[in-house]
Amino acid sequence: MKNVSQRGAIGSAFGPGRIDGMISPTVQVKEAMERPSAWARDEDLEEGRRLHDLKAKAGWAATIGLSYKAIGIIFGDVGTSPLYVFASIFNDPPDHTDVLGTTSMIFWTLTLVALIKYVFIVLRADDHGEGGTFALYARLARCCKLPTPTATEQEFDTNLTRYGTKLEKGARPSIGTFVSRAMQRSLALQRLLLILVLGATCMLIGDGTLTPAISVVSSITGLQQNTSIGQPGVIGISCAILILLFIFQRLGTSKLGHCFAPVIILWFVANFIIGIYNIVKWHPGIFAALSPHYMFVYWRDTHRHGWELMSGVLLCITGVEAMYADLGHFSRRAVQLSFCCVVYPSVVITYLGQAAYLWDHADEVNNTFYASIPSPVYWPMFVIATLAAIVASQAIISGTFSIIRQSLMLGCFPRVKIVHTSGLVEGQIYIPEANWIMMVLTIIVVAGFRDQDAISNAYGVAVTFVMFMTTMIMTVAILVVWGHNVVLAVAFFLIFGLIDASFLTAALSKFTHGGWFPIALSAILFTMSVLWYWGSKRKVMALDSQKVLLADLFRVKHPADEDDGEEKEALNGAAPPVLLKNGERLSRVPGTAIVYTNTYTGIPAAFTNLLKNYPGLHENVIFITIRYVPVPKVAKEDRLLFTPLPIPGLYRCVARYGYTDQVDVEGEFTKGVLTMVAKHSKPEMASRLAHGPGQAIDPDLKLVYVLGRTTTVPKPGLNLLVQLLLEHMYNFLRRNSRTVAGTFNVPKHRLLEVGVVVEI
């Protein structure tokens, strides 16, 4: 445990001792007695930076190995887009001008958005190697010294270290400094940033439903080319494959992960070869589409029609957000290498080959991919396409699980069960509730729309919304995180914001033909997330107001106090009696109690309720606060902050976790806490509590976990709408979410839950 000085006292804005919003001096002193000086600061959490540096400094051999794995895991989505892009762009056979113009749009969309924006710019906005919307938000929160959603009024993370930012190095004031200060002062800007992050996250979760649908349906459509199977048969087979895909999610990707890269690499190589074949055979002059001249001329001549076709063109960059979200499993250099050397050339040649084929076979545009495959390799390509679609679906499903976990850890999603499917590969998780809901929604999309165009339209809306929100958040990051000139930030926003807005408006033009689905789904998820966040904050504040300060419950002896001779003699070799404030003596009970609390100071309501009904105190009582800090990982040696309290046998501990960490109550977590207690205990007790590496907890050890079982009721006097939201909708989410004990994997045979009723 590292000692770091603290700037000022931390207190609850809604707790006792507040005078006109300020903490009274008496309460400051009492709370300072219960809290070590380093607890409000997390600048000792360097594990994320260390892991990031290790990946960044990896040699070329390691980078090539990571690139190989990245191809199989994060590029399946963008790699399978040739299955449906041209079919989504055109409803009628295109002429040569249409083919040349749209192919030019596809090439420059891939180049500007996928290659330049995401691969070379957005991937730089990692959080110590972690990617995705929440990772970018966490980094912004640290740089701007903003409170995170998991921080209570008492737990603002305003002193977190800001790794690797120019603000941290004391650079002269810049526009980024002013933006940071404005966000610190403005609650509206903080909420706007959180709304953008939640909106992008909800759209990405919706993407997890649409990607399997469009990928699998598009691959199975190949059966219609050389068989008598019709559209109903394609829908039925697709639904069967999707059901099996979701059923086998509980096994995890670790058992099949080694097969992903060979499948996708074979897919890219085969498409590249077939693309070259089509270009040489049908129209070598298609390379003229690489000139932006044809794109601008096409827009000029077609006006509204060219703009509407952009809703199909944008599907060529599906998967770029998933690429960013999955960055944490690889290194930035590995992702850039695999995209530039394998993915980008293969996809570009594939589209050029399809365009060359359409030059002489415009009437086959509705099934361009399979129609352009030479007959001798048709069925092998069908098998490879189906496997690639399954891999792409698997990747986005796993990515959705990771996104939900990050949302949960930052307090913006109801608690769900998280199962780690691999003991070796971190990040491979399975969320049963999300899996089955996604399966049902995916089957509804496939069977309900029964139309590849409608699914494509829905998919396009989800993709463009996320891209546009990422552009807005990245503009702030360019100023605040990197401290660049405002001209660069404005240029980034104008260039890519205009591109994203053009795609978004084109996608929304198909609102009535499938585009409504991701908006409706995301609106439901967004409402649920905001309601959970809002209700949970009100609950935490209500619990904080019910806490009792240590000095108000117990009769505390301070080191500076004078003891008379009789008391000194009593202290010689024995612990002093534990007395309540009213003088009542509490009997000591053998064993150790770990009491969970949301605050750093005071006694939680669950424990005071326990003392009222059972006036006894365990030999050792540890008040534990589980705290999620906005960094990816916290090293085990930095996990616990521990201090003894003025009452003999009472301790306070903060367990800090990053948003990618797993809370392991039964394992190293509890052993670490017990070992800390042993350091402050008598030899005979220390021998029972201390646990070395690899040593299991003694099943006969008297250990109990005390958690509050909270019942929330609306405060009297609230308006009808707020009462409805809290009493019915928020409480519905609480009743159907995982309990705290289940989330922390608290062993049931050691669990003691105490009822607490709070008005929110």
- Comparing 198-212, 561-575, 706-720, the range with the smallest average pLDDT is 561-575
Query: And the tokens for 103?
Result: 């192919």
In the predicted structure, residue 185 carries a pLDDT above the cut 70: yes
Q: State mean pLDDT over 251-266.
A: 71
Contact predicate 662/634, CB 8 Å: no
| Domains of the chain with CATH codes | 18-41+540-562+573-759 (no CATH), 57-514 (1.20.1740.10)
Contact predicate 109/310, CB 8 Å: no
Query: And the tokens for 439?
Result: 């399966």
CA distance 281 to 537: 64
CA distance 344 to 339: 6
Residue 486: phi and psi, rounded to 5, are -60, -25
How far, CA to CA in Å, does 456 sit from each of 211, 272, 298, 479, 532? 9, 24, 23, 35, 31
pLDDT at 173: 55
Residue 159: pLDDT band (50, 70, 90) is: very low
For residue 317, is it left (φ>0), alpha (ψ between -120 and 50) or beta? alpha
Contact predicate 272/346, CB 8 Å: yes
Q: What is the pLDDT of residues 196-229, one digit of tens each?
A: 888 888 888 888 888 888 889 989 988 887 788 8
pLDDT at 104: 95
The vertex-523 CA angle with 78 and 532, nearest 5°, equals: 110
Q: What is the pLDDT of residues 659-676, one digit of tens each?
A: 777 776 667 788 888 888
In the predicted structure, residue 40 carries a pLDDT above the cut 60: no
Burial of 719 (0-12, 13-18, 19+ CB in 10 A): exposed
Say which residue the tokens 């352009």 belong to: 372
Compute CA 287 distance to the chain's CA centroid, rounded to the nearest angstrom: 41
Q: What is the pLDDT of residues 9-29, one digit of tens each?
A: 222 222 333 333 334 444 444
Average per-residue pLDDT in the chain? Answer: 80
The angle that helices 378-409 and 187-220 make with each other, rounded to 10 degrees, is: 160
How far, CA to CA in Å, does 252 sit from each of 74, 319, 406, 424, 495? 16, 21, 18, 12, 40
How far, CA to CA in Å, does 130 sit from each of 137, 158, 332, 359, 662? 11, 21, 10, 44, 15
CA distance 514 to 585: 69
Q: What is the pLDDT of residues 622-673, one digit of tens each?
A: 999 888 877 777 877 788 888 898 888 899 998 888 877 777 666 778 888 8
Amino acid at 757: V
CB atoms within 10 A of CB 541: 19
Question: DSSP labels for 475-530?
Answer: HHHHHHTS---HHHHHHHHHHHHHHHHHHHHHHHTTGGGTTHHHHHHHHHHHHHHH
pTM of the model: 0.79
